[in-house]
Amino acid sequence: MTHDRVELVIFDCDGVLVDSERIYCRVDRQVFAELGAEFTEAELVEHFVGSPTEIWTALVEERRGRPLPADWHEPFRPLYEQALDAELTAVEGITEVLDALSVPYCLASNGSHASIHRNLSRTGLLDRFEGRVFSARDVARGKPAPDLFLHAAASMGVPPERCAVVEDSAYGVRAARAAGMRAFGYCGGLTRAERLEGPGTRVFGHMRELPGLLGVGAVS
């Protein structure tokens, strides 16, 4: 991989911009238990954080021993919405990071456009990403495939080798590597550092470190 100057920073959303993964995991555990699929918190963090829909759906169906009904999530939607409305905050330090960056940035998430919009709105970050939000719904395959990051880079007019990806999940880091981009793994949330480590990846524990690691700004 080349080491050209970073010209675009691509942020994941959940767990990187908004501190939602703890909320999702807690509600997921309750919901999946009601559906007959018991998971430990460690299992949820390892297998569900940042995972594409088809992966976690298959895991739930395997654990419960039968398929999920097509509309299984509808009765539980209010649980997620209420928890997010009550508890969701921006990740500590992220607004300072965005203010410090001297290059363009965008967002690329496995989540839907609707969920991204709601979570950015809840945390006051929506205006910062207006017109620069990319969802796995926009491409054939979500993370860990490289499609989403390559789509974001092409849309922003920046070659992959000049992009840096900020991720908090093993799936996202794998997608960044597959796209030929430098990966920065944030381990200040639920994901352990060792789950993010690997070639072309710098793991860090606090957002204030990020601009300096990128070489495109600094947070005092």
Yes or no: say if 123 and 89 are a contact pair by the CB < 8 Å rule: yes
DSSP β-bridge partners for residue 202: 184
Show the CA angle centred on residue 177, arms to residues 111 and 141, nearest 5°. Answer: 40
- Between CA 80 and CA 98 the distance in angstroms is 27
The pLDDT, as a whole number, for residue 73 is 87
Identical fold between 8-19+89-214 and 21-86? no
The closest alpha carbon to 13, from 178, 148, 212, belongs to: 148
The pLDDT tens digits of the residues spanning 93-111 come to: 999 999 999 999 999 999 9
Q: Is the dihedral of CA 110, 173, 156, 212 positive or negative?
A: positive
Judging by beta carbons within 10 Å of its beta carbon (0-12, 13-18, 19+), is residue 34 exposed, middle or buried?
A: exposed
Which class is domain 8-19+89-214?
Answer: alpha beta
The pLDDT, as a whole number, for residue 50 is 82
What ranges do the domains of the chain cover?
8-19+89-214, 21-86
pTM of the model: 0.92
The pLDDT, as a whole number, for residue 220 is 58
Judging by beta carbons within 10 Å of its beta carbon (0-12, 13-18, 19+), is residue 54 exposed, middle or buried?
A: exposed
The pLDDT tens digits of the residues spanning 177-215 come to: 999 999 999 999 989 999 999 999 999 999 999 999 999
Q: Please state whether 81 falls in left (phi above 0), alpha (psi between -120 and 50) or beta.
A: alpha
Show the CA angle centred on residue 9, arms to residues 202 and 43, nearest 5°. Answer: 55
Helices H, strands E: what count in the chain?
10, 6
Superfamily of domain 21-86: Putative phosphatase; domain 2 (1.10.150.240)
CB atoms within 10 A of CB 36: 12
The pLDDT tens digits of the residues spanning 17-37 come to: 999 999 999 999 999 999 999
Greater confidence (217 vs 127) lies with 127
CB atoms within 10 A of CB 214: 23
